[in-house]
Amino acid sequence: MANPNDADPTRPSEAPPAFFRGAPTPDARTGMHPLALRRAFADHLHYSRARDTQSATPFDRYVALALSVRDRLVDRWTRTQQTYYARDVKRAYYLSAEFLLGRALVANLQALDIYDSYRTVLAELGHNLDDLVEQEPDAGLGNGGLGRLAACFLDSMATIGLPTFGYGIRYEFGIFEQTIRDGYQVERADEWLRFGNPWEVERPEHAVPVSFGGYTERIPDRRGGFRVIWRPAEQVIGVPFDTPIAGFRSNTVNTLRLWSARAGEEFDFELFNAGDYVHAVHEKNQSEVISKVLYPNDNFDKGKELRLRQEYFFVACSIADIVNRYRRVHPDFSRFAEKNAIQLNDTHPAIAIAELMRVLVDEHLVAWEDAWKQTVASFGYTNHTLLPEALERWPVSLFERLLPRHLEIIYEINRRFLREVMDAHPQDHERVARMSLIEEGHERHVRMAHLAVVGSHSVNGVAKLHSELVKRDLLRDFHDLWPERFNNKTNGVTFRRWLLACNPQLAQLVSEKVGPSWVTEFDRLRELERHVDDAGFIDRIAEVKRANKVALARIIERTLDVSVDSTSIFDVQIKRLHEYKRQLLNALHIVALYLRQKRGEHVTPRTFIFGAKAAPGYRQAKLIIKFIHAVAYVVNGDRRHSAIRVAFMPNYRVSLAERIIPAADVSEQISTAGMEASGTGNMKLALNGALTVGTLDGANIEIREAVGAENFFLFGLTADEVIARRRQGFQGRDAVAADPELREVIDLIASGFFCPEYRELFHPLLDRLLGHDEYMMLADFTAYAACQREVEAAYADRKRWMRKAALNIARVGEFSSDRTVREYARDIWGLSPVEIDLSGTMSLR
């Protein structure tokens, strides 16, 4: 991104452009006519950035454009909130620790239907819209599918017209910026707010105090009972920053409210005057670190504490905001659940259940039974993982110190809940221990997933298999008790960003064939099936794919100084780096292909493209990144054998995904069966005409059913077979002994071939593979390699391949996030769309 200070700051700004003088003034704030758009851009450049056309930097122009677009959202934004209040509608609140938004400019231009108009206006002024788009930093407030799903949902909620509100944390530093140094991942702070954010509006008047620590005391009340008073030891202030979320070609503009932490006391003048300059700002620094960085490393106690502080901070702010909004209209809490649905996006915000109970019981004196009834009826919980270690557990001692009142409330919830369990299963003490909100042991823990289930009327998984495994394995005891609470909501992605915006040539072709309404009517894609035997249509799809591959090849060469063949198979695996996602299996296969071509066997030209970040404290994942780079160094450097190339694209992010996905031929969705909740990258890639190589895991199963088994490359063990192998004590070395090619691959790595300076560098990877092989990489290798031979054979017939690609595009309409959100609204939230009328006047209550 350009430095906004690289122009001469002393240069005076010119007067507004001469062509406006004496001319009728267009509505520069809200007008959609090109003259109004031009005036808005010029005004913001002049008045908001204090620049003239000569002194303005590209970043100045981007901000002027963004503010011009935001102006056109404000009337809709205000009217949306006015309408919700005037009609006293039920609202859904989406609580998520992550929102991986990416860039907003193109999405908002397209939502307002001024993308083409502004491109023309800017071109007339000598500017390229694409260059200005590149000035916007990614809002990387998430580390993977969880945050990107939340962003897709916000888009769909607004487009459908649902009265919803998103809540999260305004991290000063988002997901880290990844650089690669000698093949190793190096993390750098992602300063996405370095130059400000033109889309957001600070709302200090709605700041919320948040308490930590201290103690509780009981005082008598008038009814002969007692009230609990929390006497906190410290307090921080949550300041909201609102971002408009525009519905596509609709009048609805919803809100994403992100909370930033500020000190309760900014500055201690006594300490400063006494010469203690560091401690004078100590409280300020301690408080503001809460919203400083996304997911601090929690491999140590201080990191755990900060993470719990983050989660409670944004939850406390959000619950206070929800309650205050409800109280503006309603005198008591008897209709709270009737007017509010609160969705927990995974376990991170689960403390919201205890917080709402605290607010209702302690602050508003609602009877426990009534408060609990409203709480359970309000909350829904979405589970996103089958990994037991990913279900948050917090030490009771940490809770006791940071949130003493909440621990008391959790104990009381648990006491009443376990009574219900014991009534249902009088002699089953093991079941009671398994289901308890408190895990006993050497160190006691609070089980946040259990709190989320007990305190919610709905518990959903995010793919059919995932939901079944949640019921059968992960939360089986809870499903036995409350089967009616459990349901499935298969994930989806927004077609506006993941086709219309990122692949405009393909989007145009689709619109020519089925009309433009597919952007909001996802089932219209199915009409493309009528054209899959039209050679002209298939040729057009191939042309679009070819152009996208050429564009990506240029990016790879510019980024990595690696030249790739744009006619080769572009084989893509882009996702968070985790052992169960099995980037290492992909890399082992690349080594096998390298050995085949060294032996003189024919290998179909293929470019392997990776994009992945490993959690800073995840050593094994970071070693896999190093291994992929070591393989890439050898493969890319072998000039005699050039059939395969490896490109690990650093700093994987939303804007980079938007470049890679349209160019992909093959989509690697190769997680260990039974371990991926859903996945959404599989949907985005299929939507853009990539064929999936995948296991029967997550949403892969439903994608395969939708596109047809003949248009999907299946391999690997099933979830039940994985469990059986583990019970049998499977060892990876057994798979090596049975497959000569795999043995050759393992021996080459073990010899130090890929790192001769430190021959044992990759032995920790091999030790895990050859032993328990927890993620069944060696167990699945032979099937994976055979499946990849099928890919090569299919790609040889380009016409047939592109027909398969066209069928993938036509048949994935059901994986629109619009469909998913409609199901949440219908089945969980009890929400209906609200039409926003911009005519006339209306005021807030």
**Catalytic positions, written as ranges:** 384, 575-576, 581, 680, 684
Q: Are 695 and 673 in contact (CB under 8 A)?
A: yes
Tokens representing 333 are 């809490």
CA 149 to chain centre: 5
| Strand 666-669, strand 569-574: pairing | parallel
Specify whether the backbone of 268 is left (phi greater than 0), alpha (psi in -120 to 50) or beta.
beta
Q: Rounded CA gap, 657 and 103, in Å?
A: 12
For 706-727, b/e burial (b = at least 16 CB within 10 A) is bbeeebbbbbbbebebbeebee
Q: Rounded CA gap, 151 and 99, in Å?
A: 6
Q: Rounded CA gap, 323 and 206, in Å?
A: 13
Alpha helices in 17-57 (DSSP H): 34-43
Which has the closest alpha carbon to 157: 90, 76, 78, 246?
246
Name, in order, each residue with C-beta under 8 angstroms of 470's C-beta and a sequence gap of 6 or more: 383, 386, 459, 461, 479, 486
| φ, ψ (nearest 5 deg) of residue 820 | -60, -50
Residue 185 host element (H or E): strand 184-188
Tokens representing 540 are 């057009």
User: In the Cβ-directed half-sphere of 584, how many Cα atoms lie within 13 Å?
Assistant: 30
What SS3 class is residue 427? coil
Angle formed by the axes of helices 619-637 and 583-598, nearest 10°: 20
Q: Are 655 and 700 in contact (CB under 8 A)?
A: no
| Strand 379-382, strand 393-395: pairing | unpaired
Tokens representing 186 are 């190096």
What SS3 class is residue 93? strand
Residue 216 host element (H or E): strand 215-220
| φ, ψ (nearest 5 deg) of residue 334 | -70, -20
CA distances from 841 to 86, 286, 833, 837 (A): 12, 45, 21, 10
Question: Rounded to 5, what percent of the chain is helix, strand, coil?
Answer: 50, 15, 35
Longest dimension (CA), the chain: 90
In residues, how long is the chain? 845
Cα R_g (the chain), whole angstroms: 28
Q: Are 73 and 252 in contact (CB under 8 A)?
A: no
Question: Cβ atoms within 10 A of the Cβ of 845, count?
Answer: 8
Which has the closest alpha carbon to 139: 218, 197, 59?
197
User: In the Cβ-directed half-sphere of 613, how many Cα atoms lie within 13 Å?
Assistant: 23
| Residue the block writes with tokens 């990776």 | 610
Q: Rounded CA gap, 122 and 49, in Å?
A: 17
